Structure 1
Amino acid sequence: MDDERPARFEAVYRQTYGRITAYAARRCDSPQDAADVVAETFTVAWRRMDELPPGEEATLWLYGVARRVLANHRRSEARHRARNVGLDARMAGLYEDSPDSGGELMEIAQIFRALPDDDRELLSLVAWEGLERQEIATVLGLSRNAVRVKLHRARRRFSRALTEAGVRFTPESRLIQKERSL
Structure 2
Amino acid sequence: MDVSAGIEHEDLFRQVYAANFEPLLAYALRRVAQPEDAADVVAEVFLVAWRRGREMPPEEEIRLWLYGVARRVLANHHRGTLRRERLGERLRHRLRDAFSVDPGSQVPERLVVRSALARLGELDREVLMLTFWEGLEPREIAAVLRVNPSVVRTRLSRARARLRELLRDDPGPAGHELDVMAVRISEEGR
After TM superposition, the score normalised by the length of structure 2 is 0.77
SS at match of 1:92: coil
- 2:88 match: 84
Q: 1:134 to 1:111 in 2, by over 3 A?
A: same
Structure 2 counterparts to residues 10-89 of structure 1, below 5 A = 10-85=14-89, 87=92
Mapped partners of 2:156, 2:51: distance in 1? 32
- 1:43-93 alpha-carbon deviations (Å, 9 max, x no partner): 111111111112231001000000010011001111111122364984333
Q: Tell me which moved more, 152-161 or 23-32.
A: 152-161
Paired residues of 2:111 and 2:178 also in contact (CA < 8 A): no
Deviations 1:122-167 (A, max 9, x none): 1100110000111111111111111111111222222222222146
Q: Distance in 2 between matches of 1:2 and 1:58?
A: 19
Indicate the larger mover: 68-77 or 116-125: 116-125
Question: Once superposed, what is the RMSD of the aligned Cα atoms?
Answer: 2.3
In the alignment, residue 41 of structure 1 is paired with which amino acid? V
* Paired letter, 2:139: Q
- Measure, in 2, the Cα distance between the counterparts of 1:122 and 1:140: 9
Percent identity over the alignment is 43
Gaps of 5+ in 1: 98-104, 168-174, 178-182
Matches within 5 A, 1:152-163: 152-163=157-168
TM-score (norm 1): 0.80
| Alignment correspondent of 1:133 | 138
What is the number of residues matched between the two proteins?
162
Question: Which stretches in structure 2 are left out of the alignment for 5+ residues?
Answer: 94-101, 180-190
User: What amino acid is aligned across from residue 149 of structure 2 in structure 1?
Assistant: R
Q: Aligned to 1:91, what secondary structure does the other structure show?
A: coil
Q: List aligned pairs for 1:98-137, cutoff 5 A.
A: 106-137=111-142
Q: Distance in 1 between matches of 2:164 and 2:82?
A: 26
- Supply the distance in 2 between the matched residues of 1:96 and 1:54 (Cα, whole angstroms): 44
